[in-house]
Amino acid sequence: MLSTVYSAGLFGIDGFIVSAECNARRDFSDFKLVGLPDLAVKEAQERVRTACDNSGYKFPPMALMINLAPADRKKEGSGFDVAILLGILRSGGYLNPELDLSKKCFVGELSLSGKLRGVRGALCMCVAAKDAGFTELYLPAENAAEAAAVSGIDVYAVESMKSLVDHLNGTAKMEPVRFDEAGFFANNATRGPDFSDVRGQFMAKRAMEIAAAGGHNILLIGPPGTGKSMLAKRMPSILPPLTFEEAIETTKIHSVSGILPDGVSLLSTRPFRSPHHTMSAVSLVGGGVNPRPGEISLAHNGVLFLDELPEFPKTVTDSLRQPLEDGRVTITRAGGRVTYPCSFMLVAAMNPCRCGYFGDETHKCTCRPDEVRKYISRISGPLLDRIDIQIELPTISYEELASTAPGGETSVEVRERVVAARRVAQERMSAERRIFCNAQLDSATLRKYAKLDDGAYDLLKNAYESLGLSARGYDRTVRVARTIADLAGSEIIGVPHVAEAIQLRSLDRKYWG
């Protein structure tokens, strides 16, 4: 007897459908599993056999051959257990022979007691099942709320094999899980640290607002204790809310990595990742024998904060160069090639020298000039060219620190201007595909959408010649000016907009020139 039950696997952040084909013969007792399984899949034989007995079903004394198709694609993980056992139970006569399983997909790991354990990447597999034409997806209870965010397919939360078999046989019905989309958007509000907590640093706050409005990368330079980390941690609070599509895309990456917080079915706030400077390039970009997403992909649609930027190994920071340009990273291994999205805002912070006080008016710097240059040279020029805004933070005065007055505007107030500026930019660039903010404009679209008046053109020409900007640096200065003009409600880029953009770009001349 041959029966087929459908399941799903993962490759990168994409799911794919797996057919668990079960062929049973009564001439002798055996159990074989083929179809390019990894070790976790091979161990399913013992989990399935024991879970079957503990669920109240006698394991069929037959020769069982399980083929996981397509056979040329490696199967990883334990999510095929449920489909394998259902195929065996059908061969043993425990399922209604008239039951149509052609539009049903089953994913889950089995415990020895017959209960279902959660798996990674439930959202990704649900998307794959829907795209393949399935109408029902059965998942462990802890994964069902996550997968229910996908519309167009019924998702069922399964506690145990016994309850699943009873449901399929019609003796105890389960209801599909419903996703509360209205509740998702209600919860998608500013939370966490607020901009008003930061004392002083009005220039730096303005730079952060410009960076958020245009999606620009930003570098904060200043002595210890000037608020660099405080500002960076508050960047997500002024970014536009996640759209539903962005939330799905972001959650897929976190789901595949197995780091979704408990009780969270869909991420409602932009991610903020802050890896330590001792991390490796693989941890940052992604990789491994079975490639997993790195920190840049986990920061997709959010913020990647690199504190003490010069302390990161140069090989690590240089690995950011291509992802910052492309918004995706491709990892190639012997088993295949995986592409992960990584469209993130880079917020970096650093001291101006090893002791931290070069150029500070209140503390004496103990570093020699050659030591300052050596410290700064740890950041490569090509990476610096990809950081649109560089802003210097002065030491906070005692009066600012001790003041009991409010620290300034709240994140909500700043966020309103950021959202308005982004809306203006998106309406202007509505004809462009996959361009959502000014930072994504390439040279061709920049010439199309960034019109300078005569005064701004002359000012930028003088800056290009006197500061020795690269071609990429020129483009990024214009992009920042475009964002400043959007915040000011101006369609044409004028002298004040270019002047402020140059001021936010020229700090590298002080240290690198």
CB atoms within 10 A of CB 32: 11
- Indicate the SS3 state at residue 496: helix
Q: Tens digit of pLDDT for each residue in 144-177?
A: 999 999 999 999 999 999 999 999 999 999 999 9
Q: What is the 3-state secondary structure (H, E, C) of 341-396?
A: ECCCEEEEEECCCCCCCCCCCCCCCCCCHHHHHHHHCCCCHHHHHCCCEEEECCCC
> 110: which residues sit within 8 A by CB, 6+ positions away?
44, 47, 48, 51, 78, 81, 82, 85, 116, 117, 161
Cα 86 to Cα 98: distance, rounded to the nearest angstrom: 14
Q: Say which DSSP state 262 is in.
A: T
Q: Which residue has the higher pLDDT, 508 or 281?
A: 281
What distance in Å separates the CA atoms of residue 387 and residue 498, rounded to the nearest whole number? 17
CB-neighbour burial class of residue 325 (10 A; exposed 0-12, middle 13-18, buried 19+): exposed
Measured from the Cβ of residue 99, the count of other Cβ atoms closer than 10 Å reads 13
Q: Tell me: pLDDT of 509 over 60.
A: no
- The CA–CA distances, whole Å, from 169 to 94, 158, 172, 248, 465 equal 9, 14, 8, 33, 78
| 115 Cβ neighbours under 8 A, 6+ residues apart | 159, 160, 161
Q: Which amino acid is at 480?
A: V
Q: Which residue has the tokens 């730079």?
A: 207
Mean pLDDT of 4-24: 93
Beta carbons of 200 and 194 less than 8 angstroms apart: no
pLDDT of residue 160: 97
State the Cα–Cα distance between residues 275 and 273, nearest whole angstrom: 6
| Listed residue (205, 193, 161, 178) closest to 59, CA to CA | 161
3-class state of residue 289 by DSSP:
coil
Q: How confident is the model at residue 306 (pLDDT cuts 50, 70, 90)?
A: very high
User: Rounded to 5 degrees, what are φ and ψ at 388?
Assistant: -65, -40
CB count in 10 Å sphere of residue 374: 14
Residue 231 one-letter amino acid: L
Q: How does residue 201 score in pLDDT terms, banded at 50, 70 and 90?
A: confident
On whether the CB atoms of residues 38 and 73 are closer than 8 A, the answer is: no
Domain residue spans of the chain:
2-169, 187-512
User: What's the CA angle centered on 277, arms 271 and 279, to 5 degrees?
Assistant: 80
pLDDT at 431: 82
Q: How confident is the model at residue 507 (pLDDT cuts 50, 70, 90)?
A: low
Among 258, 332, 279, 247, residue whose Cα is nearest residue 79: 258
* Superfamily in which the 187-512 domain is placed by CATH: P-loop containing nucleotide triphosphate hydrolases (3.40.50.300)
Confidence of residue 74 (pLDDT cuts 50, 70, 90): confident
Q: How far is CA 477 from the centre of its chain?
A: 27
What's the average model confidence in pLDDT over 358-362? 84
Which one, of 119, 125, 115, 158, lies nearest residue 11 by Cα? 125
Write phi, then psi, for 270 (nearest 5 degrees).
-65, 135
Instruction: Print the SS3 string covering 149-178.
Output: CCCCCEEEEECEHHHHHHHHHCCCCCCCCC
Percent of the chain with pLDDT over 70: 96
Question: Residue 122: what pLDDT?
Answer: 95
The model's pLDDT over 375-424, given as tens digits with 9 standing for 90+, comes to: 888 888 888 888 999 999 988 877 777 776 666 789 999 999 999 999 99
Please tell me the predicted confidence (pLDDT) of residue 508. 47
Q: Is 5 helix (H, G, I), strand (E, B) or coil?
A: strand
Query: For residue 265, which of 160, 178, 152 has the smallest C-alpha distance?
Result: 178
Rounded Cα distance, 80 and 106, in Å: 8
Amino acid found at 309: L
Average pLDDT, whole number, for the chain? Answer: 89
**Who contacts 493 (Cβ-Cβ below 8 Å, separation ≥6)?**
450, 451, 452, 453, 456, 478, 481, 482, 485
Q: For 221-258, how does the pLDDT look when each residue is reduced to its tens digit (9 = 90+)?
A: 999 988 899 999 999 999 999 988 999 999 999 999 98
Q: Is the domain covering 2-169 a CATH 3.20.20.70 domain?
A: no
Could you tell me which residues are beta bridge partners of residue 339?
A: 330
Evaluate whether 392 touches 222 at the Cβ level (below 8 Å). yes
